[in-house]
Structure 1
Amino acid sequence: MSEEQIIEDVEYEARLRRRLKILQEQFKAGKVKIAEGLEVEKSLLAVRVGPDGEVDLSTVDGLVRSMALAVTAMHDREELKKEASLSEIQNMYFKFIEDNFGQFYDMMLKQNLTPHDAGRALTQNEKSVEAFTENLDEFLNVIDQFWEGVGEIAHIHVEDMHGNIKGIFGGDLFPSHDENIASKCGIYADTIVLPDPFLRSKHIFANYPKKDKAYYFIKHAMNILQYKDLACADVEVPIIAILPDQAALQEDERDFFHSLGKQDSIIHAGKLFNRKFDSFEELIGFAQDLDTIERAVAEIGDKGRVLFDTEWTGDIASQLAQALESEHYKLFVDSPGMLLASQSLGRMSVSNELLIKSRRLNGSPIIDAPTSWQYLVWKMEYDAEQAENELQSENLHVVKGLSDLANGEMRWLGNIPPESLIEIRKEGAMDEIRNILGQGVNELIEANPSNFHRSRDQIFDNINNAFNQHQKNIDELTAKKWKFAGKDIGSWLVVGSLEVTAAITGLPVWGMATIAADQVLDVPKLKDIPQSIRDLSNENQKIKKSPVGMLFNIKKKNF
């Protein structure tokens, strides 16, 4: 036996003894119970202690070792949570942001500006730009170190918030600067999880001109401080929680999402160009040949799959020209073909990351940008198609608009002042409103792909019935003229589209099906898959859940 093997065996033995000790302690504390008749009971009774008082490891079989490993993992998880509460983490985070930007935030509020306005106003001269970017790297380094220290703890706290409705924001760097996403949908979700925009903008801070770096630096800080009171409110269940993206901290996860994005971009490009691509390399080779707008337009088979921004108008050629000149693309691509390919890759990678993050946190994606929503809908469509082929099923993709049948639009409580939302939570008011959306979403999440065709119509009926009841509840609430924090409920009503999309596959993303089946594909190979993703896949095998995303898109306020 090699010296390396001897060291490895000694280290494993030490870990095993620790696990067995924790298992014993948990038994004594009454935290572990075993049902009669289980095989592990015999295995536990067979464990012996040697003359030295230590457990004789030769009497510990695989069942006991597995049990000790699982119990220790739960024990360590609980111990880790004791190091800092979620509230402490959120308060520390916001204190750091406020210490650096509080004075500018106060100025923004006094002058009634948006974070975008503040970002533009404070970057009008070179001296100001230099002042803000001078310490940018140091600021970002502190953010990195902070989340490296407490990011896992924060994630565990949110993961372990069971029984409540969690909305996981995605599809953009951060929610829109001119709308508060908690005001928009905080009545319908217990907790809304937002990303750290500084981590999510690393590519901007690494590649953009100084003035743009300063603008995003300021805009993010102003935007995130709008959520300070909501995130730090003294309520039992947090209204807002800021969490770091794992992909921003762990390179292997980022690479994994990128590889999933490649697979989906092949499918998307196949529909876009109406041709089959066998590999991402083949797609790139094809895209490189489309070096003029005319050539690119000539190859497009489905114009409906070309989407840069839902607000852009004009034909495909003009939109390609506009995109090539926009700050988001011109630094990275210079040909229309590569633009279309990179757009597919980027959007699909983001959708995969959002879906896996939502599954990890036991929540549902929430999007407030129609463009990002459409790409998530397409991602769900592609996953559902693959699942239908594999499972010999049909109609596993769901896109459901929830609307008032009377006028084709949905009314909801989507303009709630933060101080009113905090008061509502403290008083425990309007819980029945929040539960309405949760019930419909949970039915889709728990649906069985193999017999979804049988339950589909009933689930849709239940959702429609729930939202019809929702409209009645809103009418009753506004008639009562209740006020929270001095604001009347009637002023919170908005009109717009509220949609749900789902892929009833039993998996967060279809790309994880290969992990679940222990198949080794060319991309990604099993050995290249991060352990965190494998763990999530194993967990999903025990509790199969399908992804369900939600769009909250306001068209009209205070009507």
Structure 2
Amino acid sequence: MEKTPEEREYEERLRRRLKILQEKMKEGKIHIAEGLGVAESLDKVRAGPDGEVDLDTADGLVRSMALAITELHDRDELKKEASLSEIQNAYFNFFDQNFSRFYNIMIKRKLTPHEAGLAAMKSEGSINELIENLDGFLEFIDEFWGEVGYIAHYHVEDMHNNIKGIFGGDLFPSHAENLASKCGIYTDTLILPCPFLRSKHIFQRSTPADQAYYLMKHAMNILQYKELACADVDVPIVVVLPDLAALDEDEMKFFHQLGEEDSLKHSRKVFGRDFENIEDFFSFAHELDTIERAVAEIADESRVLFDTDWDEDISTQLEKACNGQSAELLGTNNPGLILASSAVGRMTTSNELLIKSRRLRGTPIIDAPTSWQYLEWKMEYDAESAEQVTNLKDLHITRGLQGLADGQMEWLGNVPPEALIEVRKQGAMEEIRAMLGQGIDGLSESNPENFHRTRDQIFKNIDQAFDSHKANIKKLREKQWKFAGSDIGSWLVTGTLGITSIATGTPVWALAALAADQMLDAPKLRDIPSSIQDLVDENKKLQKSPVGLLFNVQKKLNRN
């Protein structure tokens, strides 16, 4: 029987994989553990009359092994096309070449990126100048990450034995502060998103003035991190990576699906009623077409959150939301739909951050209290779902470290970029960290099986770690160290440090793998895009729980 084109293509791929497997074995790069049966299967592989491998002699075990080895081989070959340093320098140099003139003006006038954006949208002339080539500019960003996005991700994924902080919860870190200055002493590498990929929907739906604002604001914000990202140090301090969901439509749909499922859990709390599915939820929300009707249906006002800075009553907050940017982007001023869409959007963002952090083997970092609250809620809902499966209670942990300390928490959160680079170059990071004490590794090692035995110890460890941190801050000040002309005492800030965790030993998106068919609302494994299916199996091996960190500065100190 003549083989189909698909069968012939598969055989070609299989022969290539088996050839790579053979080469790696000859090079001594593959070591097989005893008792796995792989050696016996390999012994059965024979060559045909044409000298090629007789595919009929390669069983499923050999084929699976060849596939895994080939994926690693291709990944390594792809990484050789461009180093992480080359990718980062190309990215930041592009913005430097196009926006350095504006950036120098911003620095000279002591403006923030937000203020620079406001200035850009003041006159029709500046608006037209900026957005004249906007389509081409955004197209270049898309093409750039389309070419090197996965390569950059592979480089970061393969950075082992370093502490990676994965920023999330917003388009980009706050324009008012440098996030690396906040947490650069506590993380080795801070991973930032490309704000232009995250803002596609904004550029598509905004007025020319708003487009000019976001173009300028994002460009200025990116250039604030150029010195750190392009620093000549062994371990990168800052790396900008694209969200893979922006490059893979299936991933974007999957995150949105997870966001919809979590929004149903959230809305159950908000409205005090169950919804059969997302269509039922939005049908209900559509009927809440006045602020009065929406407020009348809200059962728990504490779960309605647009912005932690808004302290008005619910009616006033809804009115602000209906007349704000969210309503403009959604194309509706229906209060119910705005509530529903906000829940879906926030939960989608939280899911994407957790998955991205797991993929990059890092910890979620958030500097916006509103986003932090939604991440806490998301983990709370995950814990409730996990409790139904494991029959364990109180899996969700949330501790404001401000409450663990006496009053405001104090930490090294105002480190000038040039000083942070100097600390790395002088090799002083290890000594500083050794004095500050260890972090919260024990929290991420928790899983349902040992949680109740370790919960009290975890809390105790956190208390002790930050009590020690508080005491050792004083010792560091006494050393009067200076880096790049900056005294370590001037790096101190006070504010809220927070930890949130779900002690499940698994991120929620993999609960389907944990619970199989025991959870009806968990996404089915077949719905998980192929690009992240392997994370489900990997997570079973890691047995780490999602942990998030909040860095929220209220006051900068200057103690020498």
* TM-score with structure 1 setting the length: 0.96
The answer on whether the counterparts of 1:436 and 1:467 sit within 8 Å (CA) in structure 2 is no
Q: Read off the aligned partner of 1:479 and give its amino acid letter.
A: E
Q: Distance in 2 between matches of 1:470 and 1:483?
A: 20
Q: Distance in 1 between matches of 2:403 and 2:540?
A: 38
Q: Read off the aligned partner of 2:448 and give its amino acid letter.
A: P
Distance 1:287 1:404, change over 3 A: closer
After superposition, residues 55-454 of structure 1 pair within 5 angstroms as: 55-332=53-330, 333-403=332-402, 407-431=406-430, 433-434=432-433, 440-454=439-453
1:39 to 8, 17, 37: 37
The answer on whether the counterparts of 1:393 and 1:450 sit within 8 Å (CA) in structure 2 is no
CA shift digits 1:326-378 (9 cap, x unpaired): 12323422111111111111100110111111111111110000000000000
Q: Distance in 2 between matches of 1:418 and 1:158?
A: 21
The answer on whether the counterparts of 2:171 and 2:195 sit within 8 Å (CA) in structure 1 is yes
Unaligned runs of 5+ in 2: none
The answer on whether the counterparts of 1:441 and 1:548 sit within 8 Å (CA) in structure 2 is no
> How far did 1:436 drift?
8.7
Distance 1:13 1:552, change over 3 A: same
* TM-score with structure 2 setting the length: 0.96
> How far did 1:526 drift?
4.8
> How far did 1:472 drift?
2.4
Q: Distance in 1 between matches of 2:35 and 2:306?
A: 60
The answer on whether the counterparts of 1:165 and 1:438 sit within 8 Å (CA) in structure 2 is no
Distance 1:75 1:249, change over 3 A: same
Q: Read off the aligned partner of 1:394 and give its amino acid letter.
A: K
Distance 1:189 1:419, change over 3 A: same
The answer on whether the counterparts of 1:260 and 1:349 sit within 8 Å (CA) in structure 2 is yes
Q: Read off the aligned partner of 2:458 and give its amino acid letter.
A: I
Distance 1:375 1:436, change over 3 A: farther
When the two chains are superposed, the root-mean-square deviation of aligned CA atoms in Å is: 1.9
CA shift digits 1:510-555 (9 cap, x unpaired): 2432256665978856544311122222322332321100000001
Distance 1:249 1:434, change over 3 A: farther
Q: 1:529 corresponds to which residue?
A: 528
Distance 1:310 1:413, change over 3 A: same
Q: Distance in 1 between matches of 2:27 and 2:226?
A: 39
Distance 1:311 1:436, change over 3 A: farther
Q: 1:499 corresponds to which residue?
A: 498
CA shift digits 1:235-265 (9 cap, x unpaired): 1111100000111121111111111111111
CA shift digits 1:151-176 (9 cap, x unpaired): 00000001111111111000010000
Q: Read off the aligned partner of 1:71 and give its amino acid letter.
A: I
- Name the stretch that deviates more: 65-74 or 165-174: 65-74
Q: Read off the aligned partner of 1:129 and give its amino acid letter.
A: I
Distance 1:331 1:24, change over 3 A: closer
Unaligned runs of 5+ in 1: none
Q: Distance in 1 between matches of 2:173 and 2:313?
A: 29
The answer on whether the counterparts of 2:261 and 2:521 sit within 8 Å (CA) in structure 1 is no
> How far did 1:404 drift?
7.7
- Name the stretch that deviates more: 445-454 or 363-372: 445-454
Q: Read off the aligned partner of 1:92 and give its amino acid letter.
A: A
Residues 1:540 and 2:539 are matched in the alignment = yes
Equivalent position SS for 2:4:
helix
Q: Distance in 1 between matches of 2:286 and 2:436?
A: 45
Q: Distance in 2 between matches of 1:134 and 1:434?
A: 48
- Name the stretch that deviates more: 211-220 or 446-455: 446-455
Distance 1:418 1:177, change over 3 A: same
> How far did 1:437 drift?
8.9
Q: Distance in 1 between matches of 2:58 and 2:338?
A: 59
After superposition, residues 3-18 of structure 1 pair within 5 angstroms as: 6-18=4-16
CA shift digits 1:401-431 (9 cap, x unpaired): 2248563221000000000000111112132
Equivalent position SS for 2:425:
helix
Q: Distance in 2 between matches of 1:253 and 1:533?
A: 8
Distance 1:176 1:35, change over 3 A: same
Distance 1:394 1:440, change over 3 A: farther
Q: Read off the aligned partner of 1:388 and give its amino acid letter.
A: E
> How far did 1:37 drift?
3.6
The answer on whether the counterparts of 1:256 and 1:524 sit within 8 Å (CA) in structure 2 is no
Q: Distance in 2 between matches of 1:285 and 1:457?
A: 44
Q: Distance in 1 between matches of 2:481 and 2:434?
A: 20
Distance 1:504 1:437, change over 3 A: farther
Equivalent position SS for 1:236:
coil
> How far did 1:473 drift?
2.2
Q: 1:465 corresponds to which residue?
A: 464
Q: Percent identity?
A: 63
The answer on whether the counterparts of 2:152 and 2:241 sit within 8 Å (CA) in structure 1 is yes
Q: 2:553 corresponds to which residue?
A: 554
Q: Distance in 2 between matches of 1:124 and 1:383?
A: 45
CA shift digits 1:79-132 (9 cap, x unpaired): 111111100000000111111111111111111111111111122111111111
The answer on whether the counterparts of 1:190 and 1:434 sit within 8 Å (CA) in structure 2 is no
CA shift digits 1:427-486 (9 cap, x unpaired): 121325547999543222221212201111111212222222222221111101100000
- Name the stretch that deviates more: 95-104 or 537-546: 537-546
CA shift digits 1:170-225 (9 cap, x unpaired): 00100000100000001001111000000000011000111001000000000000
